[in-house]
Structures are given as structure tokens and as C-alpha cells.
Amino acid sequence: MRMRPTLSWTPPADLPPATTDLEPAAVLLRAGGVVVLSGAGISTESGIPDYRGEGGSLSRHTPMTYQEFVGSARARRRYWARSHLGWRTFGRARPNAGHRAVAAFERHGLVAGVITQNVDNLHQAAGSTDVVELHGSLSRVVCLTCGDSLARSELAQRLEQANQGFAPVAAALNPDGDADLTDDQVAGFHVVPCAVCGGILKPDVVFFGEAVPPARVEHCRALVREASALLVLGSSLTVMSGLRFVRQAAEAGTPVLIINRDATRGDQYAQTRIALPLGAALSELAGHLGLDGESAPRASGSRP
């Protein structure tokens, strides 16, 4: 049975009002030791759509579940055909002003670490070094049989060779790198096995219906325990994967501040929510703090 991810969250009427004043965020950052929790909203300005925002992909697209992927060769063919096409665009995405500002905050000692729910590697590409990829990264592929791993760029070359001329027109690109294709468009796609053992290859990401590795969760919890504040960027916090860290911080009395244009499931735990577009807001914050988020260096080799 296919598990459908949480599609929406209805804000209660008594949520605290949002603000457009960036000073509360500047105050927290000036103190240093802030941990960032980022979601899909920070990458939309890089051309990667989000799940639940205006026009979000979940209104038209249900991501593949882990159970479906491992249980059906047909499902794996559909996934890899759509993902292979999507990777041609997804893999070329570059950091935007928001990513670069976060990297600048870290470089100047204001941010102690980044927990990202995204699988796009853009924080690292912008220069952030202390990044926990909560849901993994599309830039890596693993074999479910022998555990071998390889770069996504290497798999892309193998898939290109096995599917020469594969160039259907996709209806849209999704946050997980999946391109919208019909069953007819993927019917002739050839999936390649692990080159080491012939087993099933899977992107090194946490699918819906799959648990985040416990050691990774504990790493994130440790970061939140040591944080002076938790700054949430571009996440609706609809699912427990990210919300649990907001709840953890609030229960410990650690300040929580959210920058997100729409109401989030974590608003009730936050000191405030700043309702502004992320790129402009974070660039302005960098300016307030005497930093230049636009000049953060790109980490060499951080994009495949």
C-alpha cells in the first residue's frame, strides 16, 4: 500500500501574528552560536520548487515511497527515468543569495551549524561547511545490496549510455529532482544495476516511508542542545522530521525564530515569524551585520 505524505497543514486561528522586522533575527545572530534549520523554501530562488508553498509540487505530485521503490521493478524504472531527466536541471542548480548569506553567517562565527531538510547540496556549494543533510543528498547513490556508493554524476553517465536519445519533455520539476513524466514516456527506459554486485541502486536520500538514520537524528539533536537559538529558514515544518527540533528547542527554552512567508506548524513554538522572501531577507540581514553574503566563496567540488 502506498503511503501518501502529509500534503497540508491548516493553521489554527490563534497563531501569533508575523512581522516583517528583521531586528529580532539580527539580535540572535549577533550573539553567535545559532543553528539553522532550512527547508525547501530557501532553494526556490535557485529554480528548485518547494513542496507546500504557493504552487508547491505536492498539489500535483506524490513522491515515491521507500516501500514502493524496493518492492517494484516497474516503480524503480519510473523513478529513475523521471529522476534522470530531472537531474539534468537539478544538478545544474546554483546557490542563491539566501544560501550565500547563511554561509557568510557561518564564516563569521554567527552560525554554529546547518541542519537542512533539502537534498540539493546548495548550502555546501555556497560555502557552508558544518551541514547535516537530514534527508541525504541526490548527489550520491548507494547500492541496497552491497552498500557500494558512487557519485550521481557517474550514474548519470551510465544512464545516458543505456538510454541514448532519451529526451522527453517534462511537465514540471519537483523538489526531490523528479521530473513529471507520463507512464508512456518512461516505458522504454533502461535502469542500470550496481556495477559491483548487480544489486538495486537508490539515491542516498530518505524517501517518504523511510526513517532518518538514528545517528543523524541524534547529531541534529546535539546541535540543537548546544545552540544559542534555532533559526528556521523556508520550512513549513508540516512533517515531524523538522518540527521535532523546533519542539526540542522550545522545550529547552532555546529561542526559536522562523523566516518564512507563510504560517508554519512551528509558529506556536517560536518567538516570532518573519514573513519575508528569504533571499532578500537574508541578504538584508547580512548587510545589517556588516557582512557580504553575496561574496561567500563557492566550495570547490561541492557540486557534482
Is the distance from CB of 181 to CB of 168 less than 8 angstroms?
A: yes
Question: Could you report the per-residue pLDDT of 156-178, keeping only the tens digit for each?
Answer: 999 999 999 888 876 667 766 67
Q: How many angstroms separate the most distant Cα atoms in the chain?
A: 57
What per-residue confidence (pLDDT) applies to 182?
83
Question: 136-143 and 201-205: which strand pairing?
Answer: antiparallel
Is the distance from CB of 266 to CB of 232 less than 8 angstroms?
A: yes
Phi then psi for residue 162, to 5 deg, are -80, -15
Domains of the chain in start order, with CATH, are 19-48+95-135+213-294 (3.40.50.1220), 56-92+138-205 (3.30.1600.10)
Q: What is the pTM of this model?
A: 0.87
Question: Could you report the per-residue pLDDT of 182-229, keeping only the tens digit for each?
Answer: 888 899 899 999 999 999 999 999 998 899 999 999 999 999 999 999
What per-residue confidence (pLDDT) applies to 292?
60
pLDDT band of residue 91 (cuts 50, 70, 90) is: confident
Question: Could you report the per-residue pLDDT of 222-264, keeping only the tens digit for each?
Answer: 999 999 999 999 999 998 899 999 999 999 999 999 999 999 9
Is the distance from CB of 285 to CB of 247 less than 8 angstroms?
A: no
Catalytic site positions:
135
Compute CA distances 290 → 170, 208, 276, whole Å.
43, 41, 20
pLDDT band of residue 13 (cuts 50, 70, 90) is: confident
